[in-house]
């Protein structure tokens, strides 16, 4: 699994003209599911994300506080394009992205893990055409791949 985590001061997702989810301070997580991914990868990824200390703390450390320390929230958006392969030509290939049916199951499972810890977490809709708006705080963006954790 792959995730692009954006520390945000606000973020929202709109589907067919209606806001489907929005948060203030927290993480916007773009989540990609790859071929061969399963529940252990989702658990490993969420465990890492949920404990990431990338908020400034009271002592002036730029990376002292975790999401739970700042009363933050999470917005999760499915994004198979995190598996783009651009080695050949100019059109990306997505053959390393997971099978859509299995990817949706794992996306929903990941969202369940997030909501276990952050009950008010928001999500997009798997496979939908979504418009995502965000104010990146920092800017601060982290790329995670479970193959490298």
Nearest residue to 29 (alpha-carbon basis) of 44, 16, 15, 46: 46
Alpha carbons 57 and 66: distance in angstroms, whole number:
9
| Active-site residue (options: 6, 41, 79, 122) | 79
Helices 100-117, 39-51: axis angle to 10 degrees equals: 40
Active-site residue, 14 included = no
41 is catalytic: no
Collect all residues with Cβ–Cβ distance below 8 Å to 139 and sequence separation of at least 6.
6, 7
- The catalytic residue among 27, 55, 80, 126 is 80
**Residue 79 catalytic?**
yes
Q: What is the number of other CB atoms lying within 10 angstroms of the CB of residue 107?
A: 27
- Catalytic center residues: 79-81
């Amino acid at each position: 699994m792959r995730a692009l985590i954006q520390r945000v001061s606000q973020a929202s997702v709109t589907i067919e003209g209606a806001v489907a989810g929005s948060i203030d301070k927290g993480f916007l997580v773009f989540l990609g599911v790859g071929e061969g991914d399963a529940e252990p990868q989702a658990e490993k990824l969420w465990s890492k994300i949920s404990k990431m200390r990338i908020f400034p703390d009271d002592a002036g450390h730029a990376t002292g506080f975790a999401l739970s320390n700042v009363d933050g929230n999470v917005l999760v958006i499915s994004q198979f394009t995190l598996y783009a392969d651009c080695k050949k030509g100019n059109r990306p290939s997505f053959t390393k992205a997971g099978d859509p049916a299995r990817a949706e199951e794992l996306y929903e499972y990941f969202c369940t893990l997030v909501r276990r810890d952050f009950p008010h977490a928001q999500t997009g809709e798997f496979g939908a055409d979504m418009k995502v708006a965000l104010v990146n705080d920092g800017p601060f963006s982290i790329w995670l791949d479970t193959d490298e954790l």
